[in-house]
Amino acid sequence: MTLTMTKQAPIGSGFGAKTTAREAIAGVDLRGKVAIVTGGYAGIGTETTRALVEAGATVVAPARSPEKARAALAGIDRVELEALDLADPASIDAFAQRFLASGRALHILVNNAGIMACPLERDARGFEPQLATNHIGHFQLTARLWPALARAKGARVVSVSSRGHRRSKLVFDDPHYERRTYDKWEAYGQSKTANVLFAVALDARGEKHGVRAFAVHPGVIRTDLARHLSKEEFEGMLSRLPNLTWKTPEQGAATSVWCAASPRLSGMGGVYCEDVEVSGIAPDNDPTAMKGVNTWAIDRDAAERLWALTEKWTGVSFRP
């Protein structure tokens, strides 16, 4: 496998935490391009969809509830609504088959949808729900859409991760909490680490086909992602993180659209980005650090191990 390594270090983007999605891709022409944004109808997903459309792209916004998506995206041109449940393998395959049947190339795939800190309610395959939705479902979706990504001859895949990856590395001995006590925050962190590892492994495979992958931390935004938390839990979480900088949804979408479309990242991939910039590396032994990516999330051996496991879990042999 040949990989031109992109250094995990800032490139001097000129942007920052307050940059908006529109500002992040100002001047980028996406006319004739097609994007898919999972969860592209809620929170930062809506602003990701809006920014890509305003740059000229056609955006497919798959959702578990197309009716909800229709109401959220009313008035935005060039948006196509589709049904998709990332926790349902048959739904993933059906969505991908419909898109591939259109014969279109896929220039941008933003794996944005996700869940956070939810109870342990196993899916149909017996998987822990956060790893299943945030990583495994998106792995299968990307695999099924691969022919359209390769057809673009210059596509990008963006995995929306989180600073939450710092809560847990991938616990390969028991990823689905079959033997250890379930901790919803640890499980969330593990799923977000998986998002970064997926970008590392996908970029290694996709580079020779013109498909580059990135992982992003969007920032801290008030969205429906926190729906599983009580008011007391939410306020308690905030009290333990006094140095948080809040972002608006449009600021939260900025790093995703920058990774999806900015020419500044041409020829690059396999890196974790935040605040519209390639991130530096954070010390693994300092959980209070507010910026940077842990080395366990960009470890290529761990990325390959997770890739092989996810092929086994999904039954999808994804070898571009």
Three-state SS sequence of 250-277:
HHHCHHHHHHHHCHHHCCCCCEEEECCC
The number of domains in the chain is: 1
Q: Is residue 237 part of a domain?
A: yes
Q: What pLDDT score was predicted for residue 67?
A: 84
| Sign (positive or negative) of CA dihedral 167, 169, 172, 175 | positive
Q: What pLDDT score was predicted for residue 278?
A: 98
Q: Is residue 9 part of a domain?
A: no
Q: What pLDDT score was predicted for residue 65?
A: 84
Going by pLDDT thresholds of 50, 70 and 90, the confidence category of residue 221 is: confident
Percent of the chain's residues with pLDDT above 70: 91
pTM, 2 dp: 0.93
Q: Is residue 227 part of a domain?
A: yes
| Residue ranges making up the domain that contains 159 | 21-314
Percent of the chain's residues with pLDDT above 90: 79
Cα-to-chain-centroid distance, residue 210: 19
pLDDT at 239 over 60: no
Q: What pLDDT score was predicted for residue 229?
A: 53
Going by pLDDT thresholds of 50, 70 and 90, the confidence category of residue 3 is: very low
Q: Which residues are catalytic?
A: 188
- Quick: pLDDT tens for 39-87: 999 999 999 999 999 999 999 999 988 888 999 999 999 999 999 999 9
Q: Is residue 45 part of a domain?
A: yes
Phi, psi values for residue 96, rounded to 5°: -60, -40
Q: What pLDDT score was predicted for residue 217?
A: 96
Q: Find the CATH number of the domain harbouring 195.
A: 3.40.50.720
Residue 250 has which token pair? 């449009």
Q: How far apart are CA 97 and CA 105, in angstroms?
A: 13
pLDDT at 227 over 60: no
Strand order in the sheet with 271-274: 79-83, 58-63, 34-37, 108-111, 155-160, 211-217, 271-274
Q: Is residue 6 part of a domain?
A: no
pLDDT at 241 over 60: no
Q: What pLDDT score was predicted for residue 243?
A: 64
Among candidate residues 230, 196, 235, 233, the one with its CA nearest the CA of residue 215: 196
Q: What pLDDT score was predicted for residue 272?
A: 98
pLDDT at 26 over 70: yes
Q: Is residue 152 part of a domain?
A: yes
Q: Is residue 11 part of a domain?
A: no
pLDDT at 126 over 70: yes
Q: How far apart are CA 259 and CA 214, in angstroms?
A: 7
Q: Is residue 103 part of a domain?
A: yes
pLDDT at 307 over 90: yes
- Quick: pLDDT tens for 144-171: 999 999 999 999 999 999 998 999 999 9
Least confident window among 225-239, 250-264, 281-295? 225-239
Q: What pLDDT score was predicted for residue 60?
A: 98
